[in-house]
Amino acid sequence: MKKINVGIIGFGNVGSGVVRILRERRTMLSGKIGTQINIKKIVDANITTKRNVSVEKCLLSKKVSDILDDPQIDVVVELIGGIHPSKEFICEALKKGKHVVTANKALLAQHGKELFALAQDCGKRIYFEASVGAGIPIIKSLREGLVANKFNSIFGIVNGTSNYVLSSMSGKNCSFSEALREAKQKGFAEKDPTFDIEGIDSAHKLIILIFLCFGKFVDMSEVFIEGISSISISDINYAKELGFSIKLLAIAKREGDSLEVRVHPTFVRDSHMLASVDGVFNAIYVSSDLAGDLLFYGPGAGQLSAASAVVSDLVDLTQDLKAGMFRPTLNSIQDASIKKLRKINEFESRYYIRFSALDKPGVLATISGVLSKFGISIASVTQKQRAKAKSVPIVMVIHEAREKNLRQALEIIDRLNIIKEKSVAIRIEDI
């Protein structure tokens, strides 16, 4: 039986999952694909800590060169994450004639263009199924299953931590910080959760999805990003009353000849499938012109889930290699109907707005007067309980408005004496 040799860089959570699957499913996999996937070397800075899989000592090394300089190794699996030195390892691997499998979304989002070009030059391929949605086969589905489609939009819940926090706030009626604390305790949030909570990780994944759907690498600076740290439990409860859930969505949406690219908390109708995605689950909802509106849902993280995707990449690779030639990448073709990215100021959206205002006559008239000057029209208003507090929340839903106009109006409103706190505005997507 044919054999391919794999070198794994990074023997952490996902790395040991990959090793476990390749060992425990050896017979099943080789039976299915007619090729043996052989682990030739595992490199990690720490090779002494016990993992939940045991490997022969001779397989372990601290030196990356034991993989990169071994001509018998066909594939490098990069699982250390981050930009450096992952990028250097991957470049060197490609240059030395090795294919690459990686789960590194941050790296692909920020340097994907360069890395894919290098792979092309080297006649090698980069596989990255685990980079978005862990075990959900979303990369393969978009690239191969929907190969004939053009795409209209992507709406993704692609960060498990933020979704857990939002679900938790909603389910337990607790504050953002309480929910985050609990997420950390349960291992669903990292010590420093900034990347997850502030939408950076979602933006990384969105860039990868856009590459697959629209054939274009968007720069991180071109993605409008807002995180969930300013979402309060009252917003979540008002959303509920209005028939919505708040989700951190990664959005790419075609508007005429331009593409809107953004990550932000979003009001999603309760009846939409995305509203039912709770906890650490991920879901990607794509609208395609032939296959229609599709949803892919599953756990967005987890040792075995991500490892399942890495192993599927290795299987694809064995098939490519076995065929004796390199199967072309199913290169993304740039969607020529998209001419530019839409600027944030030009976004148009319905909005939920919560004002904290003094509880006295004329307040609503003043606020709506300012909005009206900017051509913003109100769909509904609710003034909440007349509490003992000095300010009362005024909850408003506005019709489609241009971002720029809304921002200007809110700036003026927030400077009024009758307004006690910065107003909160959350976009409503009619998916």
Q: Indicate the residue type of 44.
A: D
- Binders in 182-241 for a second copy, by CB under 8 A: none
Q: Is 216 a catalytic residue?
A: no
Q: Is the peptide bond before 85 cis (omega within 30 degrees of 0)?
A: yes
Q: Indicate the residue type of 156.
A: G
| Structure token digits, residue 36 | 């043996």
Cβ(145)–Cβ(136) below 8 Å: no
Identify which of residues 287 and 356 has a Cβ nearer to a second copy in the complex.
Answer: 287
Site string for a second copy, 16-45 (x = CB under 8 A): -----x---x--xx-xxxx-----------
Distance CA 295, CA 274 (A): 9
Rounded to whole angstroms, what are the CA distances from 32 to 8, 27, 136, 399? 22, 8, 20, 55
Instruction: Find tokens 């790419």 and name the residue.
Output: 252
Q: How far is the CB of 79 from a second copy (least distance, A)?
A: 16
Which helix (H) or strand (E) segment holds residue 365: the answer is helix 363-373
Among 6, 119, 136, 371, binds a second copy (CB under 8 A): 136
Rounded to whole angstroms, what are the CA distances from 302 to 52, 137, 175, 291? 14, 14, 26, 29
135 sits near a second copy (criterion: CB under 8 A): yes
Distance CA 45, CA 32 (A): 34
Report phi then psi at 285, rounded to 5: -110, 115
430 sits near a second copy (criterion: CB under 8 A): no
Identify which of residues 85 and 137 has a Cβ nearer to a second copy in the complex.
Answer: 137
Which helix (H) or strand (E) segment holds residue 407: the answer is helix 403-414
Q: How far is the CB of 324 from a second copy (least distance, A)?
A: 6
Among 96, 322, 384, 404, binds a second copy (CB under 8 A): 322
Q: How far is the CB of 34 from a second copy (least distance, A)?
A: 5
The one catalytic residue in 105, 205, 247, 253 is 205
105 sits near a second copy (criterion: CB under 8 A): no
- Binders in 276-295 for a second copy, by CB under 8 A: 276-277, 283, 288-295
Residues forming the site for a second copy (CB under 8 A): 21, 25, 28-29, 31-34, 129, 134-137, 140-141, 144-149, 271-273, 276-277, 283, 288-299, 302, 304-305, 307-309, 311-312, 315-316, 319-320, 322-325, 327-328, 330-333
Q: Catalogue the active-site residues.
A: 205
